Chain A
Amino acid sequence: MAYYLKRWRFPFFRYLVLGIWTLIAGFPIFWIAATSFKPAHQWTSWPVVYVSNEPTMENYREVWGIREKTVEEASQTYEKGKDARPESVSMNKAWKAFGNSLLIALIATSLTVAFGTVIAYGVSRFQILSEIRMFQLLMLRMIPPIVVAAPLTLYYTTLNLMDSVTGLVLIYFITTLPYAVWMTKSFIDEVPREIEQAAELLGATRWRTIVEVVFPLIRSGIVATFMFILILTWSEYLMSFILSKVDVVTLPVQLSKYEGSTEGRMYGTQSALAVGITLPLMLIGIFIRKHLVRGFTFGMVKR
């Protein structure tokens, strides 16, 4: 009897705890998604509206301009007063920020992963960095970003990098490089050296060996690293907020700009933008899961 009791008890409590935790972790995500469909008067209404009884796409239209809006329409809504939105919140800004974020994240991530992989290969095979150096590299990440942010503005002003795509790409490249090196190194370490040596003895140059043998084996790892760093860069706020303001606004910074002069925070519109930021990440998350399964040695070395 006790045995059977035990048998169902443990999974039951495990799922119970996990279930509660999922609710806690998932609630803000639900709240944002729900708010994005609420009309303005339900954003902060009391009693709390969990799921709107009069769902609207107005917030999305406002932010992402799903529907083409004419100048007259825009001014009409503005005049109506009830759902008034300040001029600063135009749909173009969100798309522009989306473009900026995408451009910066893709360039920075590509650079980081490319350099990171090369460095990691050097570390893994030729010990170009000692173990201590590798930890120091990671320790760079332990400095609170705000500490370096202020001095950086001075450098950036002098170097004319403020408010530019180049400037943000550069800072993201530098700050995420340690992760890229560490992650790709762990994948390269798993490729047995003997495989490379076999290729070498068969007449392959170092370059051919990397292209034909090493790269196909770490491809999944590189994809996983790429996605991880893309997410970091995509959602970075602080550096972007400090090092750019007017010309090159990224999505997380844009998110903070939905504040009306009379209404306070524009929660609905903000949520609509937040959903737009989060959705690509969720899709990536589903994609990365497949690649994170490290099946890439194919049960190769039998010891």
Chain B
Amino acid sequence: MSQIELKKLRKVFGENIEAVKDLDLVIEEGEFVVLVGPSGCGKTTTLRMIAGFEEPTSGEVVIDGEMVNDRDPKDRNLGMVFQSHALFPHKTVYQNIEFGPRMKKIPLEDRKKRVEEVAEMVHITPLLNKLPSQCSGGEAQRAALARTLITNPGSFLLDEPLSSLDAKLRREMRAEIDRLHQELKKTFVYVTHDQEEAMTLADRIVVMRAGEIEQEGIPMEIYNDPSSYFVADFFGSPSMNLLDGNIRKGSSGESFVFEGYGLSLDLPRLDNLVEGEHCVGIRPESISVGDSDNGLELSVSLVEPMGKDTLLYFSHSAERPLIAVVEGSTKIQSGDLVVVQFPKDSIYVFDSDGIRVK
């Protein structure tokens, strides 16, 4: 088990392409941390700096209290799983898994035993004599996991390991990785651009944007209490409804009212709220549909049954349609006018810089 600490970590590519900007992060022993963000946000570069494949321009990588900037990747007590699985194509799955212990000159007998153990652990025993090209994507990724597991590293680095798999396999492998983490109780650092993976796997999510940490916290905190427009938009599927508009004082003079796109919404009491250009957000599942006669009447443009839930799309003049989720199936059809309520405690307000107003 290892604790990983990043101190003012910075990486500049070429002359002035700043991939990672003064990143400070402490990853505790046994923690499952997910670095998440859109492509180009510096998450993979950060992971590669932890692994030692990328040299930081400045700052320190500290593992278990020791600065490891000058240490070779193999001396950092890490295991890594790559997006492309990176199995050796000319070696069988068995030889692939055996590679690590063989390099460490572990006797043949022990090696064989260990290979069988880890193969059992990730359920690939029948594949041991196959070549990677004969394995499916999921099988290859399991083999890659086994190859890393066998070296028993203090922490695991996973660089978008599931992004090349199809949706069903991805869910399966996600559960597998979760199980491994619980069994091994090791430190996991996981990079992904998929918010769903981040939400389901992480003990703690670190949201990155343009080389900086935008927000970090436990998954529900990120979901319920986004610190910015970016985070609010990034997490949740379907994503949060975000509307640009104007905020002004209500008639009573105390509360605030949002106006835009023909909507007029009562806002919660927020200490720092002022009048002016703002953006408000509400999660699709927070919008209540047809519960009372008291609310806004909107016309449904599209009904999308998802099985467990149904998505309702409302047409209005925003760039993105307004979406609401209703449980189960519904009799509402496209073209219907329905009464919609926006509970004011579920409304998030962001200022013109995208910072959440609290």
What residues make up the interface of A, taking CB atoms closer than 8 Å to B? 192, 194-195, 197-204, 208, 212-213, 216-217, 297-303
Contacts and interface: CB of A to CB of B under 8 A. Distances in A.
Interface string B101-124: 001100000000000000000000
Interface string B53-84: 10000000000000000001110001110111
Given A201-B74, A201-B79, A203-B151, A213 B53 contact: no
Interface of B: 51, 53, 72-74, 78-80, 82-90, 99-100, 103-104, 131-133, 137, 140, 144, 147, 151, 164
A213 B88 contact: yes
B154 to A, nearest CB: 13
Contacts of A303: 84, 164
Nearest to A198: B86
A202 B74 contact: yes
11 contacts: A194-B82, A200-B73, A203-B151, A217-B89, A298-B132, A299-B133, A300-B84, A300-B132, A300-B133, A302-B137, A303-B84
- List 7 tightest A-B contacts by C-beta distance, closest first: A202-B100, A203-B103, A298-B89, A194-B86, A300-B89, A198-B86, A301-B84
Contact of B74 (A192, A200, A298): A200
Given A199-B88, A202-B74, 5 more contacts: A195-B86, A198-B80, A213-B88, A217-B90, A300-B89
Given A197-B73, A298-B90, A298-B133, A204 B78 contact: no
A302 B137 CA distance: 8
A201 B103 contact: no
B147 A202 contact: yes
B86 A197 contact: yes
B86 A192 contact: yes
A229 B78 CA distance: 43
Contacts of B164: 302-303
Given A217-B89, A300-B132, A300-B133, A197 B53 contact: yes
B84 A194 contact: yes
A148 B206 CA distance: 63
A12 to B, nearest CB: 39
Q: Tell me the interface secondary structure of chain A in the complex.
A: helix
Contacts of A197: 51, 53, 73, 80, 82, 86
A39 B82 CA distance: 69
A192 B100 CA distance: 19
Contacts of B87: 195, 198, 300
Contacts of B79: 201
Contacts of B74: 200-204
B84 A297 contact: no
Nearest to B159: A194
Nearest to A215: B90
Contacts of A201: 51, 73-74, 78-80
Contacts of A200: 72-74
A212 B79 CA distance: 19
Contact of B82 (A198, A203, A212): A198
A202 B89 contact: no
B52 to A, nearest CB: 9
A55 B74 CA distance: 70
B129 to A, nearest CB: 16
A302 B89 CA distance: 12
Contact of A297 (B51, B83, B89, B151): B89
